[in-house]
Amino acid sequence: MNKYIAECIGTFWLVLGGCGSAVLAAGFPDVGIGLLGVSFAFGLTVLTMAYAIGHISGCHLNPAVSVGLWAGGRFPANELMPYIIAQVIGAILGAGALYLIASGQPSFDLSAGFASNGYGAHSPGGYSMTAALVAEVVLTMMFIFVIMGATDKRAPAGLAPIAIGLCLTLIHLISIPVTNTSVNPARSTGVALFVGDWAVAQLWLFWVAPIVGGFIGAKLYRLVAKEEQEDS
């Protein structure tokens, strides 16, 4: 049970820290952190939690990561669903805490998006559904590829959280204009449930694309690294 609690807390931190930076600090007058700051915030949530709970749960914080690690032979199938449930609960709690904070500001407007992911009219840059789908699949694929490589027993010990955190930062620098960056179905679900309407209607893409990308990324790494499967 401690693994599931750790995943819940870690995903709570990812949503509060990452989405919180976008909702509370990105556009703050004169000193807003902007796209660069939000990108680093997401990376820092993973970096800090990897050191905090990596030795407890592996610090997945993301259903696509859990699925990818399972596909790559690094994670047992019987723990997949409990991990995903814990991650989604943590994301909802993180979004709830963020809502309580953000709604304390008189001009807060939930319809502005609340850091939700979207495509078409709800993409920050107006990108199409196809563009969003490709971006989420490819970027999640590369995220899992980096995770698999950084946590390979042949990789330098202790440096994986840095590589993974910086990879997530880079992913956000690329794709915030396209989808507001998901690569994480739990993160997308947490905030979408508060926005409702279009955010929930478009949520399917931010489950399908990251999970497909995670699966491909894990299989690609095993092919390249010739890594033997450890778990079934």
CATH at residue 139? 1.20.1080.10
DSSP class of 118:
-
Residue 229 lies in a domain: no
The chain-wide mean pLDDT, for the chain, equals 94
Residue 232 lies in a domain: no
Residue 96 lies in a domain: yes
178, 209 in Cβ contact below 8 A? no
Residue 230 lies in a domain: no
Rounded to two decimals, the pTM is 0.93
Query: How confident is residue 226, by pLDDT bands cut at 50, 70 and 90?
Result: confident
Residue 185 lies in a domain: yes
In this predicted structure, the answer to whether residue 87 has a pLDDT above a threshold of 70 is yes
User: What pLDDT is attached to residue 232?
Assistant: 41
User: What pLDDT is attached to residue 229?
Assistant: 52
Ramachandran bin of 231, using left for φ above 0, alpha for ψ from -120 to 50, beta for the remaining angles: beta
Residue 199 lies in a domain: yes
Query: How confident is residue 228, by pLDDT bands cut at 50, 70 and 90?
Result: low
Residue 115 lies in a domain: yes
Q: Residues with Cβ < 8 Å from 60, sequence gap 6 or more?
A: 7, 10, 66, 69, 83, 87
Residue 216 lies in a domain: yes
Average pLDDT, integer, range 137-150: 97
Query: What is the tally of structural domains in the chain?
Result: 1
Average pLDDT, integer, range 160-185: 97
Average pLDDT, integer, range 205-228: 92
CA distance 77 to 40: 32
CA distance 136 to 56: 28
User: Apex CA 191: angle with CA 190 and CA 197, to 5°?
Assistant: 115
User: What pLDDT is attached to residue 29?
Assistant: 86
In this predicted structure, the answer to whether residue 197 has a pLDDT above a threshold of 50 is yes
Can you give the residue range of the structural domain that contains 161? 3-224
